[in-house]
Amino acid sequence: MNPVDFRSDTVTQPTPAMREAMLAAPLGDDVLEGDPSVRALEAKVADLLGKEAAIFVPSGTMANLLAVKCQTNMGEEVICDQECHIYYYEAAGYAAFCGVSPRFTRGARGLFTAAELEALIRPVDDHFPKTTLVAVENTHNRGGGIPWPIEQLAEVYCEAKRLGLHLHMDGARLWNACAAEGVDPVDYAEFADTISVCFSKGLGCPVGSALVGDAEAIGRARRMRKVVGGSMRQAGMLAGAAIYALDHHRERIAEDHARARRLAERLAEVPGLTVDMDRVQTNMVYFGVDPKLGTAWDFCVKLNGKVRMLDESRQTVRAVTHLHITDDDIERAADAIAEAAGSKAAVSA
């Protein structure tokens, strides 16, 4: 039997119905006259988030990179959480391509307040970089998949506007935040100037993200996409997958959250493992491993034949539920994890 793969929601593959939609998608040259399916996707996403325009790109990393580039100048500063994806996982593109530096918030679980934002603004002085952009991540990956409460986001956005700053939302898992908080995408997007959204995580597409914003920002992003080699030709097959996913896979994301919760409940009963249930709000489960069981990496290696997960720190493991995880997978995985931890409670409750 194949191992249950919790490494990420990026491991999903297109469903048979999505593959049919990909094959049926009208194609064109997206760099020349425009691919009709890509244009349809861009219009759909812009409308879904209530913005003027959108651009389809290969990855969320590129979407975030273009957002930073189009809203900053070299030598300026971006305020973001110390463990946000843009800083932690995107190969310092903000520095290499945009020439900006980060200034860190240290809020709880990746979230911060308007007061914390205001406190980080430097005085006008030639010694200091000028702050021009605030970046938030929704949901916050290393925070535990935590969604932003919309009231808190609104306060941060209003403070950013008062300070003359742009706000970019890394919404790679915005669909999860919407499902968890009961918020429509357009309502979250009201409190951001640009938003990146991903199709290859919770929605199960093979490739692709989008950057959404006003026409001017997306126009700059379109040129910058060409500069970094992100323009694609007959990309309509990928766009067809994303259109299908938006129409058919968004509503089911709550199932991933329920399964993550069930997994967390099972693991919380296993001696040697610790789970902060308050952090299990979407499709991610972070759990601690007692050093007596080895490191998190040791524990993941031990389980690899039955359950695949990633070590996030020396003693912390991350498990992510997604489109292909079933209720039975949750119980089988929990049993295997309990067994690996030496627990006698390795029987599904």
Residue 38 pLDDT: 98
Residue 273 pLDDT: 98
Q: How many CA atoms lie within 13 A of 220 on its CB side?
A: 14
What span, in angstroms and rounded, lies between the C-alpha atoms of 20 and 276?
A: 41
Q: How many CA atoms lie within 13 A of 282 on its CB side?
A: 29
Find the angle CA(202)-CA(203)-CA(205) to the nearest 5 degrees.
120
For the chain, domain boundaries: 10-248, 252-340
Backbone angles phi, psi at 55, to 5 degrees: -135, 135
Residue 114 pLDDT: 97
The dihedral formed by the CA atoms of 254, 255, 259 and 264, expressed in degrees to the nearest 10: 0
Backbone angles phi, psi at 9, to 5 degrees: -80, 5
Residue 256 pLDDT: 98
DSSP per-residue letters across 91-136: TTHHHHTT--EEEEE--GGG---HHHHHHTPPPS-TTSPPEEEEEE
Global confidence as pTM: 0.95
Hey, how many other C-beta atoms are within 10 angstroms of the C-beta on 33?
9
CATH of 10-248 given 3.40.50.150, 3.30.70.360, 3.40.718.10, 3.40.640.10: 3.40.640.10
Compute the chain's Rg from CA coordinates: 21
Asked whether the beta carbons of 317 and 299 are under 8 A apart, the reply is yes
Q: Does domain 252-340 have CATH number 3.90.1150.10?
A: yes
Q: Give the strand pairing for 316-320 and 284-289.
A: antiparallel
Given a cut of 50, the residues of the chain with pLDDT beneath it are: 345-349
